[in-house]
Structure 1
Amino acid sequence: MCFDAIDMRVFDELRKLEMFFKEETRRGCSIIDLYELVQHAGNILPRLYLLCTVGSVYIKSKEAPAKDVLKDLVEMCRGIQHPVRGLFLRSYLSQVSRDKLPDIGSEYEGDADTVMDAVEFVLQNFTEMNKLWVRMQHQGPAREKEKREKGRSELRDLVGKNLHVLSQIEGVDLDMYKDTVLPRVLEQVVNCKDELAQFYLMDCIIQVFPDEYHLQTLEVLLGACPQLQPSVDIKTVLSRLMERLSNYAASSAEVLPEFLQVEAFSKLNNVIGKVIEAQVDMPIFGAVTLYSSLLTFTLHVHPDRLDYADQVLGACVKKLSSKGKLEDSRATKQIVALLSAPLEKYNDVVTALKLSNYHHVMEYLDNETNKIMATVIIQSIMKNNTRISTADKVEALFELITGLIKDLDGNHEEVDEDDFKEEQNSVARLIQMLHNDDPVEMYKIICTVRRQFMTGGPKRLPFTIPPLVFSSLKLVRRLQGQDEGQDENPFGDESLTTPKKIFQLLNQTIEVLSTVPAPELALQLYLQCAEAANDSDLEPVAYEFFTQAYILYEEEVSDSKAQVTALHLIIGTLRRMHVFGVENRDTLTHKATGYSAKLLKKPDQCRAVYSCAHLFWVDDQDNMKDGERVLICLKRALRIANAAQQMSNATRGILFLREGEPQVTAAAIQSLIELINTEMQSDSSTPDPAADAFFASTLRYIQFQKQKGGAIGERVYVLMFLGKRNVENLSAYWFTTKSFTTNLMV
């Protein structure tokens, strides 16, 4: 049976005995006689239980001062020196007397009985109980020490109840606590030199007495910490103390001046340093835990004192440097908690960047934990929409997230592909949070980011370069119109931040990406830059980007599917360009047309060639309307389609309509329609409902135009049937261009 159960059963029976003694006094029996009578019991232990029971009735009768009876009882209990029996006896004494102590407002308070008498009684009982409790560790053979320690741990509440009683005495104000209670309790804690007792009693002091008392007696309380046994878990004691003080500070802004007055941070910082210095065998986990708790306290009590927070981080760095690389996972978790505290408090990474020792602490994390912490930092930025607005801050930020930017310490271990992608995508999302309205500073930010990304290695560049390019293009569009004239160098060499200067940087950046190799991605980015240069009216720059894209297409893009995709991107981008003169445009257009005719598969050739027809007829540019070349492209596409039909019986026909174009006569259109009809009705043709419906819709549109008496159409229409799937693709293509009209839909 556990000690608590025994304790409760015995005390219940003794309560009945106390009621019996009360009844006896009512019948005329003298309480003084009873008090003397029970002292004649033969065995000392029953005698003292009887004495405590009668003593309770004696105090209640008020026939003698309470302090005299209490003093007599606490002294008489010295007769039991057996640790366990003595503990239970004194616990019973504490229980029967707690409601009879002379206290403010108590019926037992008087001229002869004061609050100090109650305090002296409880302190003396506590002292004797603690001595008995400590003595238990020496009662028995050494081989049973572990068993005894377990038993001692179960009995600790008997001792701690005395401190709880002290905290409940109304007359114990701050002055009495400071002058009498705390010094006496700490004296007993320090002098007992027992690890279990010291840890438990220090924790009891922290838990049972008010926060205000702890704050006002902080120096005294902390002064006992370095005197404790080296094996005492002092980190937990101090952490709980700082947690209580932090909560106290957060409870009301009115108490913060008290913290400043008592210099709480300085005292806590000093004692932590002394404890760590005194306990040379303290594991690094314990030291980091202390600094983590101190930082949390500092952020709650002194949120505006970044120098305090940085001082804590600096002390932690000093301790970590003496231990080298961490191998304790618990210490690693505490460092993560330490580094996360400023982020959670300020919700602003910019504030954390002001802490000069922040990144030094991160250096002691292992590679995986460093990545986790870097991800936490990025998540904080995204969650709080934090803008990093200067190149210096960006530099400091990238020092913190180095683990995601590049391999640490030459680490090339295999990583999970999905995890790697998620990490790099988080870095890519970060770029949008780096912004400054000043173009000069924004350019510095871009250069800083580029320098960091270039160290990331070939696996990271495909993730990190694209967002950097688009961020640079946003700046270009803000600066449109600042470049005037052309230089021999298409990018210029201006000292100011201009679109040319940014394009030059982008050209160098994408060139690195093309060697990763990621040629398809580099080609897309070159085309994006070319389009931005077009919007800035920088023809030489746009031509240079197109030239780089063509070189990549010719030398690096070898897969047939990738070639088709890249070529359609080139054609689509080139069609939107208006900056080119006749010579440059002809060069680029003919190159694209030539590439189209060299694709591996005939259907791909046909689609690419008829797409090139759009390059010779741009509606909003009068100098780019060449119907003859349009017709040449379409005829070439028709020839390729016929050749594809002979090989795979897939081609169904081509229809080209143009308003007022002399090369496209009514007879030519009628001839094409008949050709399509013939192909659709041939035995070798595979029925295709989608193609049939589309062709019927086109014919209705032509008939509608004839009935109106106008020209056949307002735009150029190219219809190519290469099976049902390609009809759907063609419909989608037309829907995204200006050449599409709803009249053609079924």
Structure 2
Amino acid sequence: MLPDGGADDEERWLAEGIAGVQQNAFYMHRAVDSNNLKDALKYSAQMLSELRTSRLSPHKYYDLYMRAFDEMRKLEMFFREETRRGSCSVVDLYELVQHAGNVLPRLYLLCTVGSVYIKSKEAPAKDVLKDLVEMCRGIQHPLRGLFLRSYLSQISRDKLPDIGSEYEGDADSINDAVEFVLQNFIEMNKLWVRMQQQGPVREKEKRGKERNELRDLVGKNLHVLSQIEGVDLDMYKETVLPRILEQIIACPRLSNDVDDYNVTSLVDYLNELNYKVILVPLINPNVDIKTVLSQLMDRLSSYATTSPEVLPEFLQVEAFAKFSKAIGKVIEAQVDMPVVGAVTLYVSLLTFTLRVHPDRLDYVDQVLGACVKKLSGNAKLQDSRATKQIVALLSAPLEKYSDIVTALELSNYPRVMDYLDNSTTKVMALVIIQSIMKNTACISTSDKEEQSSVARLIHMLHNDDHEEMLKILCIVQKHILQGGPKRLPFTVPSLVFSALKLVRRLQGQDGDVIGEEVPATPKKIFQILHQTIEALSCVPSPELALRLYLLCAEDSKAQITAIHLIIGTLQRMNIFGVENRDTLTHKTTGYSAKLLKKPDQCRAVYACSHLFWTDDQDGIMDGERVLLCLKRALRIANAAQQMANVTRGNSGSVALFIEILNKYLYFFEKGIPEITNTVIQDLIELIRAEKQSDNSVADPSTEAFFASTLRKQPAWAAGQALPDCLRACTDAHAPALTCRYILGSQLLRFVDDS
């Protein structure tokens, strides 16, 4: 037991110990330099006496130990040189160090000389090792004893009588090496367990934390054991593993640094012993068998990940069933096991399954189902440790499968989520969202009603089919509107932006006519957005609602402004090559024709005509492409007129045709040969005929605009009569539909000829 003292006291004690080590190490080095063996032993013993302290925690004691350890390596080199020169035989030196006054320094010196003794080969390695491991029993203080035996393990690990080793002896030498490591492991494990039993009950938790800092010291013996080449599978199953299992039974808190032979033997051995390990809790309920199983499965799954090419057949075929059965027996035997313990076991089993059997989704779902069965008695978990483990359980499939649907389609996945409280459900929803974004997954079907948490990731929603995408948005809207005042301000904007993306995709397509046969239209989407944003007004979040309303209203306007800026910029720039400029102008014209409204499309397209005729010295002068842009604008204007006729019952305004006429006149004055007086006159007569139609709208501003335009036309183009077909139509006051047909025919002739 460590004495009471604060952190400052412990730092002071550590500083005093380090000072003592450094001071005696200085005199030891001076004795070594002068080949004074007697003084070297004297000062090294005094230096090692600093390790007799009981004032330090394991962490601080380790710092002091490492200072002394570094000095002992130098002392070992001195001993080796002394015996090589013949100044002192290794046998005499081995006897000499045993006369040190205190037992702890004596044993450290004995281990150091023992390493030199084995290296000299003047005695069999097995005899020296056996003597050392027995002599170290003289230290029964848990902390000091653990570090002494750790020192013994480190200096002897390269001197074990193994196959191919220079210290190999007879056929039994492998057994001697194994026995030495196991004996040291067993004694260290006893000391480690004893740490928990000593001291007052009030400091039990503190001692537990201190013990955890030391468990790696115990486990390193098993690592050394795994490095012995002479230990084959049979020896491991028949000799090594039974000794380890005996320690599991005898010591409830065994360090579980299992070596690689467990990969190919423990599952079979559990079968042979009739699940001896699993039945331990029936004998001693204090045995923490879940930790043994969890760490074993973790080690096996890691082995499966790093060495999949050498996976034994039983690990691929039988291990899941055996571990699943073993966990069931443990949970059944320990009826008082906390929920967190059971879930921890299932987390390890699921991790093992995902690594060893990644394609067996039925195994994954089976583990989740077993967890549901264990949780069935808990309405909502209150243990934060248990909920943390459930989040780990649910996160494992998401990390393994890049396709989020694979995990979400597991039948027991949502059933496990039902046992999470509200705050943990939010955490889990965030994990799902992060997984989707990490794997750039898209939600491509509308059948997602049971996965309401997935709907939060609205920006990842996508489907090339417009109607299906609209269905997705409707379902997301349904879930979003169920949110309370704290959620709506965060979720509604995401839906608005996602819906506007669909609106932009619909632009330039013939889906503008509203009807049941074309449900995915901009108008339909804006109706959904209106309903959604309206919910913000009731929260209330009026400022956010207003901003979103304006965003929807400005969506098309902003694009129009951007298109005209692009056109103007391209017209003034001449730094592009022919090929690059052609690409840019082609894309600009294409985007212009895909704006939301037909009038906007028309104006943007006729503006693009300026990209093909510039007046500067190096400018482009392509009259044919200018004419193509103007003709395309006329077709769009005609389509806008027809739509106005369907929706408003009249032929609408002829302002678009007049605007296009102005462009024709502009380019005629620029001298473009493709723009002839005949072409201009035909367009003027078309506008006049449209104005004289029975269904035309009398608009004073349009009349003024047309009159102003005619005043700018060349004198030779004025006063010409209408074509005979148009005059006959207007004189006879033909029905509007017939007139529209004739006008349309005239327009088609007009835009297709020249």
TM-score by length of 1: 0.55
* Structure 2 match to 1:4: 62
Q: Identify the match of residue 71 of structure 1 among 122, 130, 134.
A: 130
- Structure 1 residues 387 and 269: alpha-carbon distance in aligned structure 2, compared to 1, 3 A threshold: same
Q: Does the C-alpha gap of structure 1 residues 507 and 301 become closer, same or farther in structure 2, counting only changes over 3 Å?
A: same
- Distance change (3 Å), C-alpha of 1:321 and 1:581: same
**SS at structure 2 position matched to 1:99:** coil
Residue of structure 2 in register with 1:168 after alignment: 227
Shift of 1:120: 0.7
Aligned: 1:338 with 2:402: no
CA contact (8 A) 1:326 1:332 kept: yes
Aligned AA for 2:703?
A: F
Q: Which residue of 1 aligns with 2:462?
A: 432
Task: Give the C-alpha shift of residue 108 in structure 1.
Answer: 1.8
Change (3 A) 1:475 1:128: same
> In 2, Cα distance between the equivalents of 1:499 and 1:187?
75
Q: CA deviation at 1:182?
A: 2.6
* CA displacement at 1:153 relative to structure 2: 5.0
1:198-223, Cα deviation, whole Å (9 max, x unpaired): 2xx11x22xxx23x643543455896
Distance in 1 between residues matched to 2:146 and 2:130, nearest whole Å? 17
Decide which of 397, 400, 418 is 2:451's aligned counterpart.
400
**Correspondence for 2:420 among 365, 384, 392:** 365
Cα deviation, residue 249, structure 1 = 2.9
2:183 counterpart SS class = helix
- Change in CA separation of 1:357 and 1:629 when aligned onto 2, cut-off 3 Å: same
Residue 191 of structure 1, CA deviation: 0.5
**For residues 140 and 500 of structure 1, what CA distance do their matches in structure 2 show?**
78
Q: Which residue of 1 aligns with 2:718?
A: 710
What corresponds to 1:300 in structure 2?
Answer: 355
Secondary structure, aligned partner of 1:304: coil
8 Å Cα contact 2:368-2:413 kept in structure 1 = yes
Per-residue deviation, 1:121: 1.5
- Mapping of 1:281-430 within 5 angstroms? 282-367=337-422, 369-371=424-426, 373-374=428-429, 377=432, 386=441, 394-395=446-447, 397-401=448-452, 423=456, 426-427=457-458, 429=459
1:119 to 166, 178, 195: 178
Letter in 1 for 2:157: R
For 1:182, the equivalent position in structure 2 comes to 241
1:116 is aligned with what amino acid?
N
One-letter identity of the residue aligned with 2:167: Y
Q: Which of the numbers 155, 159, 168 marks the counterpart of 1:100?
A: 159
Residues 359 and 20 (structure 1), Cα distance of their counterparts in 2 relative to 1, 3 Å cut: closer
Seen in structure 2, the aligned counterparts of structure 1 residues 22 and 316 have a Cα distance that, compared at 3 Å, is same
251, 263, 267: which one aligns with 1:214: 263
SS state at 1:265 partner: helix
Structure 1 residue 134, shift from structure 2 partner: 2.6
Report the alpha carbon displacement of residue 295 of structure 1 after superposing the two structures with TM: 2.9
Q: What value does the CA root-mean-square deviation take over the aligned residues?
A: 5.8
- Does the CA-based 8 Å contact 1:431-1:471 persist in structure 2? no
Flag the 1:455–1:121 CA change in 2: closer, same or farther, 3 A.
closer
**Pick aligned residue for 2:642 from 574, 578, 582:** 578
Deviation at 1:130, TM superposition (A): 2.2
Matched residue type, 2:322: K
Uncovered stretches (5+) of structure 2, i.e. residues with no partner: 1-13, 15-59, 538-544, 556-635, 654-682, 723-746, 748-754
Query: Counterpart of 1:327 in 2: which secondary structure?
Result: coil
Change (3 A) 1:240 1:626: farther
Q: In the superposition, relative to structure 1, how do residues 305 and 256 fare at CA in structure 2: closer, same or farther (>3 Å)? A: farther
Q: Residues 241, 477 of structure 1: CA spacing in aligned structure 2 closer, same or farther, 3 A cutoff? A: farther
Q: 1:588 to 1:280 in 2, by over 3 A?
A: farther
Classify 1:365/1:573 alpha carbon distance in 2 versus 1 (closer, same or farther; 3 Å).
farther
CA distance in 1, matches of 2:314, 2:210: 40
Counterpart CA distance in 1 for 2:385 and 2:180 is 44
Q: Which residue identity is paired with 1:401? A: S
**Alignment check: 8 A CA contact 2:93 2:113 kept:** yes
In the TM superposition, what whole-angstrom CA distance separates every residue of 1:421-466 from its partner, at most 9, and x where no partner exists?
xx5xx43x46533x669x8x99998997788788679968998699
Unaligned stretches of 5+ residues in structure 1: 405-422, 484-489, 493-497, 529-571, 590-616, 635-653, 670-700, 715-737, 739-746
Kept after mapping to 1: 8 A contact 2:443/2:460: no
| CA displacement at 1:148 relative to structure 2 | 5.1
Equivalent residues, number: 535
CA apart distance, 1:359: 1.9
Are the counterparts in 1 of residues 344 and 389 from structure 2 also a CA contact under 8 Å? yes
Q: 2:169 aligned with 1:110, yes or no?
A: yes
Q: Which amino acid aligns with 1:705?
A: Q
Question: Could you tell me whether the CA contact under 8 Å between 1:618 and 1:624 is conserved in 2?
Answer: no
What code does the residue aligned with 2:173 have? T
What's the CA shift for 1:112?
6.3
Where in structure 2 are the equivalents of 1:441-460 lying within 5 Å? none
Give a deviation string over 1:272-324, Cα, whole Å, max 9, x none. Answer: 44444455555544544443443333233222111111112222222333222
Distance 1:432 1:375, change over 3 A: farther
Pick aligned residue for 2:703 from 650, 656, 664:
656
Quick one: distance in 2 between partners of 1:57 and 1:232?
41
Deviation digits for residues 372-424 of structure 1, max 9, x if unmatched?
Answer: 5446546655775656566xxx43x22112585xxxxxxxxxxxxxxxxxx5x
Change (3 A) 1:262 1:36: farther
State how far apart, in whole Å, the 2-side matches of 1:145 and 1:462 are. 54
- From 312, 318, 329, the counterpart of 1:263: 318
Q: Provide closer, same or farther for how the CA distance between residues 169 and 623 of structure 1 changes in structure 2, counting only shifts above 3 A.
A: farther
Residues 477 and 160 of structure 1, relative CA distance in 2, 3 Å threshold: same
Aligned 8 A contact 2:98 2:106 in 1: yes
What are the equivalent positions in structure 2 for 1:566-645 lying under 5 Å apart?
Answer: 576=640, 578=642, 585=649, 625-626=691-692, 632-634=698-700
SS in 2 for 1:118: helix
Rate the CA distance shift 1:379–1:264 in 2: closer, same or farther, 3 A: same
TM-score, length-scaled by structure 2: 0.55
- For 1:134, give the aligned amino acid: V
- 1:611-658 per-residue CA deviation (whole Å, 9 max, x = no partner) reads xxxxxx999999974578867542xxxxxxxxxxxxxxxxxxx67336
Deviation at 1:230, TM superposition (A): 6.5
Q: Distance in 1 between the 2:422 and 2:390 partners? A: 13
CA distance in 2 between counterparts of 1:402 and 1:17 reads 65
2:183 partner letter: Q
Aligned residue identity for 1:176: M
Task: From the superposition, tell whether residues 710 and 297 of structure 1 become closer, same or farther in structure 2 (CA, over 3 Å).
Answer: farther
**Equivalent AA in structure 1 for residue 449 of structure 2:** F
CA distance in 1, matches of 2:712, 2:462: 51
The answer (yes or no) to whether the contact 1:174–1:213 under 8 Å persists in 2 is no
- Shift of the 126–511 alpha-carbon distance from structure 1 to 2, 3 Å rule, reads closer
* Cα distance in 2, alignment partners of residues 512 and 444 from structure 1: 15
Identity of matched residues, %: 56
- Contact between 1:362 and 1:400, CA under 8 Å: does it hold in 2? no
C-alpha displacement of 1:163: 2.5
- Tell me which amino acid in the other structure corresponds to 2:226: S
SS at match of 1:657: helix
Provide the rounded CA distance (Å) in 2 between the counterparts of 1:477 and 1:61.
91
Q: Does 1:135 align with 2:194?
A: yes
